[in-house]
Amino acid sequence: MADLFPPLATAQVDAKTKVDEKVDYSNLPCPVPYDEVHREAYMSLKAENFEGFRFDFSKGLNQKFSLSHSVMMGPTEVPSQSPDTTIKIPVAHYEFGANYFDPKLMLVGRVMTDGRLNARLKADLSDKLILKANAQLTGEPHMSHSVFNFDYMGKDYRAQLQLGNNALVGATYIQSVTPRLSLGGEVFWAGVPRKSGLGYAARYETDQMVASAQVASTGNVVMNYVQKISEKVSLATDFVYNYFSRDVVASVGYDYILRQSRIRGKVDSNGVTSALLEERLSMGLNFLLSAEIDHKKKDYKFGFGLTVG
């Protein structure tokens, strides 16, 4: 779903110069936001594989303002009755987007030919308070979602309040406990399926590795580990377990950031192998190849695309 691919030279883990010195507990760094606790692991393990053809053209009018045109043609999955068969319907659509990036305000909007709008807003209300809003609006009634987040960044903690439509309320809090370890918790209440949930997360990071874990009252337990082998290579592994439905998935992934290309792939215990290659053909021209093979369900997805600008 992301239309803007991350730049090829993104560093995996922030370089933290931690030496064996006495820890100053009053001067701990600010932790990553609660939603990004698994950020490094998901860069390799949840790459944006797609099926079909895609073409993205991005035109900058200004330092801050740009327009984007995207064409996507390919089969999309439709939920089917039996879990063994997947039904795919070929669709083609064109999406127009406008982006405005300012240090204090970010506006991203995408509209498709069928009238669906995907809008994102991020505004710095003050030095420490950030408002983020995300909405998917359609013409059909009761099919739109919107979420508003208020993030407060303290000295060594972050707190977030989330309000969504259909009476969704959530709050998260994450705190740095030592320079490397941060712990957090979340609580949410969803009005429509009257459910409430509680979750905890922990993240331990050094220069070379990041380990994180998350437990939620929905029954999900997620644990992952990322090791940065060198500037160009990092490996990640992930273990997801649901203690109500007894589903277990383990996966191993890699991320190679090379000079002209970036290749990410993973192998799963569900029999899914996937890879995504982003190659920079020349300045501003990126070529994408995506493959996802599900051996168990015999579902093969291949995609190719071009990104200009």
Partner 1 sequence: MAAKPSLKIKGKGKGTKVSSSSTSSSKYELVKEWTNWSLKKAKVATHYGFIPLIIVVGMNSDPKPHLFQLLSPV
Instruction: Tell me the closest approach of the beta carbon of residue 7 to partner 1, in angstroms.
Output: 22
Instruction: Select 183 or 306, whichever has its Cβ closest to partner 1.
Output: 306
Instruction: Tell me the closest approach of the beta carbon of residue 145 to partner 1, in angstroms.
Output: 11
Instruction: Tell me the closest approach of the beta carbon of residue 35 to partner 1, in angstroms.
Output: 23
Rounded distance, CA 256 to CA 261, Å? 8
Rounded distance, CA 119 to CA 100, Å? 12
Instruction: Select 108 or 276, whichever has its Cβ closest to partner 1.
Output: 108
Binding site for partner 1 (CB under 8 A): 59, 61-65, 67, 96, 98-100, 102, 107-109, 111, 117, 119, 135, 137, 139, 144, 165
Range 110-114 contact pairs with CB under 8 angstroms and sequence separation of 24 or more = 110/3, 110/68, 110/70
Instruction: Tell me the closest approach of the beta carbon of residue 115 to partner 1, in angstroms.
Output: 8
Comparing C-alpha atoms, which of 265, 274, 266 is closest to residue 299?
274
Rounded distance, CA 95 to CA 149, Å? 26
Instruction: Select 125 or 308, whichever has its Cβ closest to partner 1.
Output: 308
SS3 state at 49? coil
Task: Give the rounded distance of the alpha carbon of 148 from its chain centre.
Answer: 17
Instruction: Select 97 or 303, whichever has its Cβ closest to partner 1.
Output: 97
Instruction: Select 99 or 274, whichever has its Cβ closest to partner 1.
Output: 99
Residue 61 carries which side chain, given as an amino acid letter? L
Instruction: Tell me the closest approach of the beta carbon of residue 143 to partner 1, in angstroms.
Output: 11
Instruction: Tell me the closest approach of the beta carbon of residue 82 to partner 1, in angstroms.
Output: 33
Instruction: Select 74 or 164, whichever has its Cβ closest to partner 1.
Output: 164
Q: What are phi and psi of 236, to 5 degrees?
A: -140, 150
- The CA radius of gyration of the chain, in Å to the nearest whole number, is 21
Rounded distance, CA 224 to CA 229, Å? 16
